[in-house]
């Protein structure tokens, strides 16, 4: 059985993962609105990944005889000044999520919950990848600046991304 403190921390992280999903869904709408369907595709896959992350936490909590508490999710931002502005927001958000996962691991360490620590290592590794991907896209967008042709090439590349369901520890 999972401790009450650990249970509450997992429920908070489930909520935060669902917020991430909604934030990226809002970004899908933004990119669709400005005609960058490849960027929208990339964000759609982020939505799926965040949902999978939330469900992984959800299922883990159930497997530990935890109590699920579905929390209200804040409304995400809906407008950005540019694709770069949007991806900088993604990068900043992923850094926040990394800090939240680290905080969840801190709780697991305080509670001496070795099973949770082990489980959460997958999430920590995933965050390293998420931050690296976002940082790379931001760098490329900064590099191309106002070059619309280059932006369309990036859009085409991001449109080729496909969803692969994660194998959560």
Question: Could you give the number of structural domains in the chain?
Answer: 1
Q: Is residue 142 in a domain?
A: yes
Q: Record the pTM.
A: 0.95
CB distance 73 to 22 below 8 Å: yes
Whether 46 is covered by a domain: the verdict is yes
- Nearest by Cα to 73 from 8, 14, 10, 127: 14
**Residue at 166 is within a domain:** no
pLDDT value at residue 168: 84
pLDDT at 169 over 80: no
Question: For the chain, what percent of residues have pLDDT higher than 90?
Answer: 97
* The dihedral sign for the CA sequence 10, 11, 16, 22: positive
Domain range for 18: 4-159
Contact of 119 with 63, CB cutoff 8 Å: no
Q: Does residue 164 lie in a domain region?
A: no
**pLDDT of 106 higher than 80:** yes
CATH number, domain of 34, equals 1.20.1260.10
How far apart CA 64 and CA 61 sit, in angstroms, is 5
């Amino acid at each position: 059985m999972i401790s009450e403190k650990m249970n509450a921390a997992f429920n908070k992280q489930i909520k935060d993962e669902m917020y991430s999903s909604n934030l990226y869904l809002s970004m899908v709408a933004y990119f669709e609105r400005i005609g960058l369907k490849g960027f929208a595709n990339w964000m759609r896959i982020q939505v799926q990944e965040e949902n999978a992350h939330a469900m992984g936490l959800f299922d883990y909590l159930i497997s530990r005889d935890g109590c699920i508490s579905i929390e209200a999710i804040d409304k995400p931002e809906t407008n950005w000044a540019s694709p770069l502005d949007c991806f900088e927001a993604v990068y900043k958000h992923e850094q926040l999520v990394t800090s939240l996962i680290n905080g969840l691991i801190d709780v697991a360490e305080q509670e001496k919950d070795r099973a949770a620590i082990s489980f959460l290592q997958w999430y920590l590794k995933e965050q390293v990848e998420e931050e690296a991907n976002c940082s790379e896209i931001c760098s490329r967008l900064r590099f191309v600046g106002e070059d619309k042709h280059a932006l369309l090439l990036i859009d085409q590349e991001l449109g080729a991304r496909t969803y692969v369901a994660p194998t959560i520890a």
